[in-house]
């Protein structure tokens, strides 16, 4: 993978001994200039210590650094866990020469085990020593858990004759269900904007991307998405037209990362876009798409490459949305499988089976009840998903 970065940010990743086989498990993001910051976090009522700490610190709207570990979630670890999160931040702050309050923390991994903070503190000086403008791939590797590949996306845009950059790093292959963002996602940009403007744009982008994906219907205790903006490009987002230009690039980065997360879902072999059209409201369209995308029976049929449209129709029918089954059309790719609530026969199923063998395709459910639509990205449920999660801690 090509190394990428964002002007004014230094990044790094090292192995500190939290994971087996000397795999990278400690990462750092450092902004050379003071950065505005916004974040969204898990809605799970069980929240890890780093999430609780970040919620407090992010209200100031300023951030100079983020330190993150994998291999241990630092969740359900009581006061000891909060002290460990604060020590992570303190060690990074001391090494970087910045205020401790300007350092955010993130963790991912096994829940319920004490965080070996001594290992992290011992590794921080070396981590800081290897920070690079193009060290983002090392950062991406350091936050992986069951991911099979590091995930980095970088895009550039133009405003007022100047170039700006948006670079995003994400991890997540399981416990992916949109209740905020999902997993860990860190976005760096060299534009300047107020924390409130950043929050508005981040929430909008997350709702179009990270909130429209699902691997297994589970929401993590550690979900964190952060957007840091250091302004070194000299571009300031000051009006709605400028915000619209930046929003488009931010959306592009997060949508690309969201799709990548699903393609790399635990045991996944298919990336499937569930599209609901003809709904009375966008909310109802989203509710049906989400129910279908999270249906275990639908997801196992996708793995088996079985054009079992009955499972899709049944999921739509239990989504809690008023529908008229006799009106519904369902397409697998371009193949019409159900017309007006009735199957189109064996010939259609044979054509649909060809679609189901592809690694990426869409399923469209037309309700014929309105003009609103919504999309959710999902993957299949494979035997490997069960194997990965059956022995996750061993």
**How far apart (Å, rounded) are the C-alpha atoms in residues 228 and 36?**
6
DSSP string, 199-263: HHHHHHHHHHTGGGEESSS---SS-EEEEEE--TTS-B--SHHHHHHHHHHHHHHHHHHHHHHHH
Q: Which of 146, 182, 214, 221 is catalytic?
A: 182
State whether the Cα torsion 263-264-265-269 is positive or negative: positive
Query: How far does CA 193 lie from the centroid of its chain?
Result: 23
Instruction: Name the residue among 147, 208, 209, 216 with its Cα closest to residue 177.
Output: 216
Cα angle, residue 139 at apex, residues 134 and 140 outer, rounded to 5°: 105
Say if residues 294 and 214 touch (Cβ distance below 8 Å): yes
Residue recorded with tokens 């990336």: 271
224-229/62-70 β-pairing: unpaired
Active site residue 219: no
Which residues carry out catalysis?
Answer: 182
């Amino acid at each position: 993978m090509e190394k990428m970065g964002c002007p004014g940010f230094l990044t790094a990743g090292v192995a500190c001994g939290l994971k087996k086989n000397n795999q990278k498990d400690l990462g750092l993001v450092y902004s050379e200039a003071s950065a505005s910051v916004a974040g969204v976090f898990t809605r799970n009522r069980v929240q890890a210590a780093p999430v609780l700490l970040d919620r407090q610190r992010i209200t100031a709207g300023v951030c100079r650094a983020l330190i993150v570990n994998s291999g241990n979630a630092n969740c359900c670890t009581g006061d000891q866990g909060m002290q460990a999160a604060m020590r992570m931040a303190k060690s990074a702050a001391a090494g970087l020469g910045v205020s401790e309050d300007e350092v955010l923390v993130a963790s991912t991994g096994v829940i319920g085990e004490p965080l070996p903070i001594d290992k992290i503190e011992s590794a921080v000086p070396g981590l800081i020593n290897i920070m690079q403008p193009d060290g983002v791939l090392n950062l991406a590797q350091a936050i992986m858990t069951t991911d099979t590949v590091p995930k980095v996306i970088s895009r550039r845009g133009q405003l007022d004759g100047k170039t700006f950059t948006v670079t995003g790093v994400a991890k997540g292959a399981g416990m992916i269900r949109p209740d905020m963002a999902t997993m860990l996602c860190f976005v760096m940009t060299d534009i300047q904007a107020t924390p409130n403007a950043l929050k508005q744009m981040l929430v909008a982008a997350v709702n179009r991307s990270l909130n429209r994906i699902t691997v297994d219907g589970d929401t993590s205790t550690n979900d964190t998405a952060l957007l840091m903006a250091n302004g070194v490009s000299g571009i300031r987002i000051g009006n709605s037209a400028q915000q619209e230009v930046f929003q488009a690039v931010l959306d592009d980065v997060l949508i690309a990362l969201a799709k990548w997360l699903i393609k790399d879902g635990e045991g996944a072999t298919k990336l499937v876009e569930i599209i609901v059209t003809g709904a009375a409201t966008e909310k109802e369209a989203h509710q049906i798409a989400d129910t279908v995308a999270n249906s275990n029976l639908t997801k196992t049929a996708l793995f088996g490459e079985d054009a079992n449209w009955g499972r899709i129709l049944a999921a739509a029918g239990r989504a809690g949305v008023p529908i008229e089954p006799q009106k519904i059309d369902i397409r697998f790719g371009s193949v019409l499988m159900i017309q007006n609530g009735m199957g189109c026969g064996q010939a259609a199923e044979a054509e649909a089976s060809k679609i189901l063998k592809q690694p990426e395709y869409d399923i469209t459910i037309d309700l014929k009840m309105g003009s609103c639509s919504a999309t959710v990205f999902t993957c299949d449920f494979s035997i490997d998903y069960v194997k990965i999660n059956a022995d996750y801690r061993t």
